[in-house]
Chains A and B, each alone.
Chain A
Amino acid sequence: MKRLSLLALAIVAGAVTAAACGGPKPQPQAPTPQANPDSAAAAERARQDSIDAANRAASEAEAERVRRQREADSLAALGRSTEEVRGMVAAMIHFDYDKSVLRGDDIGTLDQKVAVLQANPDLRLRISGHCDERGSDEYNLALGNRRATAAKQYLVSHGIDAGRIETISYGEERPLAQGHDEGAWAQNRRDEFEIIGGGDVLRRP
């Protein structure tokens, strides 16, 4: 729903932009210099000059208005896209118990991150690996490290510079869901993606 309305807005913005790109409206042809000016012609020319001046002023004001409007529109659109892209970046991936193998249903999520990272060359991420509470507390730090590294390796293998991605493991120390059942555990076995640089303005891939 949100995506649809964003799309609609983008189309509207595009239309406005296209209209504006037409540039200043075509101005009436300036009268050619006359070899034999008479008073009537002079008066006519003076009148015509004043109309031209008024037209020019009006069209310049209009151009300025359109330009400002376009700027505002594009800023808003950029803000909206930044928010949207941040959502793509933050999307978590999940793991099976005591596993650090990427799951098939998370590949799409990771591919989207690859695209975002490619579209925003300054963007830098920190991936944190997390575990559920069932394993050993300290072993889970090693397991979470594997989970964070697995995601990073996927991104790097798809062309992202390794220097743009940090990893950390929090083991089971920062659970997302507080319960003690498979529902909570499944949510807690995850990688989180945090923007640590270049995230002020983000382009959609």
Chain B
Amino acid sequence: MRRLLLGLGLFFSVGPTVRPSDAQDTSAIDRGVRIGIVYRPGVRPGLVVLPGRPAALDSVRAILTRDLDYTDRFEVITLPAGDSLRVGAVALGTAPPARGAPGRQRSGGAQAAGPNYPLYLALGADFVVDLRAAGDTTVVDVHDVAAGALRRTFRARLPAPGGAGFRMTVHRLADQVLLATLGAPGMAATRVGFVKDGKVYVIDQDGADLRLVSSTDRQAMSPAWAPDARRLAYMEFWQGHGQLFVQDIGSGERTAAATTGRALDFTPAFSPDGKTLAFSRATEEGTDVYTVNIKDNCCLQRLTVGRFSDNLSPTFSPDGQRIAFVSTRSGLPQIYVMAADGTDQQLFAPFDYGVTGASNAPEWSPDGQSVAFHRDVAGTLQVFVLDVRTRTVRQLTSVGRNEDPTWAPDSRHLAFVSDRSGYRQLWIIDLDTGRIRPLLQQSGSRLPAWSPRLPETAATNP
């Protein structure tokens, strides 16, 4: 978060700023603390979240503010500690004037209809978010400072703090604020699945609420979300084969998919309509991409015939028409694409034969415009993004080993595995600003899968 005065000092004292699109993985030592040197002042709208009234809303404010900061779309302005700025907020709404701050509160008292817009304008804020309680409902007012008017009001009945669904309900409010201010889809009400010590876990995108999903003794791999964000597919090692499962996160019930009892099935991926599961199947003929209808548990279809090459790691385009995948048909594994029925197979991410390293783990972005993957560069792995339209690639990371990228539903953030801190853990990078933050500081976390936005019922009844 930008400290108002310190931030201003930095902006002017540090050399030329980098255009956001050029932003790279430059903040290796940045453990979630934005240094502030890669941003041009004024590019991103400023936003203030006023202190909640009553103080019981402090935890809501903290979660909401962090969510909005993590969108990397705002300059979230931290108010200096003085009371004077709060006064404008106190005057707003129906709460009686606080008795504890005599003398100061008169300054904003004149405008009972809204916050002190000129003051926030002077602070560089474009938006003011105000939290208040009305009975058992939490009310969020979003003010447009430049227009000097209330833009939107949201209401939510929050579960008790710490109760089931409390945090996710607040995350949902954050997504609503983002939509109301910038018209952009958010990613606050999401979770990330991953593997650690052979078990599948999920965690909220802000690093809270870690839960175990696969509870058997068998080793699990490769979690993948269904488009409804309620189910996870993953693979488990059984005696002599690899078995795919689709598990309901809420109930914990799971069903086996595409059972053979012999083949090694892995890297499941849901089609956007949630009816089809694409996956890799390893047999003595090699590894190939298959699809199966999981709704009716039928209609196994083989999409690739590798013979002397392997084909694996399918990922659907968001329109469901195409599948990107990995193939070793030219030697080293590289990223290819085909129609969803297996026809029209062709190279997707360009490479220099004999020069470019192995490329793996593709994931198509939710907006359809990009495919993230990792590629061997000088003996270690780095995250790359392919532009689907121009078929050009750019390298996103350069510090340490970085692998297995997965898209946030805003198609702008990626979670990935990196050992930049000395051990392998999960990180999140913003493609526009290059800002990087750790998602989970637990060694050995890997194979992340970012969920779609959670449906309402999944948030309140997880």
Contact of B361 (CB < 8 Å), options: A98, A126, A138, A167: A138
- Cβ-based interface call for A168 (8 A): yes
Is the CB–CB distance between A139 and B219 below 8 Å? no
Is the CB–CB distance between B240 and A168 below 8 Å? yes
In the assembled complex, which residues on chain B have CB atoms less than 8 Å from the CB atom of A135?
358
Kindly list 5 other residue pairs between chains A and B, CB separation below 8 angstroms, not including A136-B358, A137-B221: A135-B358, A137-B404, A141-B282, A166-B262, A168-B242
In the assembled complex, which residues on chain B have CB atoms less than 8 Å from the CB atom of A168?
237, 240-242, 264
10 closest A-B pairs by CB: A136-B360, A145-B282, A142-B287, A142-B310, A139-B360, A149-B284, A168-B240, A166-B240, A141-B266, A142-B312
In the assembled complex, which residues on chain B have CB atoms less than 8 Å from the CB atom of A196?
240
Interface size for chain A: under 10, 10 to 19, 20 to 34, or 35 or more residues? Answer: 20 to 34
Within 8 A of B (CB), among A13-65: none
Interface positions of B (Cβ within 8 A of A):
198, 219, 221-222, 237, 240-242, 262, 264, 266-267, 280, 282-284, 286-287, 310, 312-313, 326, 328, 333, 358, 360-361, 374, 381, 403-404, 446-447
Is the CB–CB distance between B374 and A138 below 8 Å? no
Known: A168-B241, A168-B264. A138 touches B286 (CB 8 A): no
- Cβ-based interface call for A173 (8 A): yes
Is the CB–CB distance between A137 and B447 below 8 Å? yes
Is the CB–CB distance between A139 and B284 below 8 Å? no
In the assembled complex, which residues on chain B have CB atoms less than 8 Å from the CB atom of A152?
284
- Cβ-based interface call for A86 (8 A): no
Binary contact readout A148-185 vs B (1 if CB under 8 angstroms, 0 otherwise): 01001100000000000011111001100000000000
Chain B proximity of A52: nearest CB distance (Å): 64
In the assembled complex, which residues on chain B have CB atoms less than 8 Å from the CB atom of A126?
240
- What would 15 A/B residue contacts be, using CB atoms closer than 8 Å? A136-B361, A138-B221, A138-B266, A138-B313, A138-B360, A138-B447, A139-B361, A141-B287, A142-B282, A142-B312, A145-B282, A146-B286, A166-B240, A168-B242, A173-B198
Known: A141-B242, A142-B282. A136 touches B381 (CB 8 A): yes
In the assembled complex, which residues on chain A have CB atoms less than 8 Å from the CB atom of B267?
138
Contact of B403 (CB < 8 Å), options: A136, A153, A169: A136
Known: A137-B446, A138-B221. A169 touches B282 (CB 8 A): yes
Closest A residue by C-beta to B333: A139
Instruction: Give the docked Cα–Cα distance between A146 and B283 (Å).
Output: 9
Known: A142-B287, A145-B264, A152-B284. A173 touches B237 (CB 8 A): yes
In the assembled complex, which residues on chain A have CB atoms less than 8 Å from the CB atom of B313?
138-139
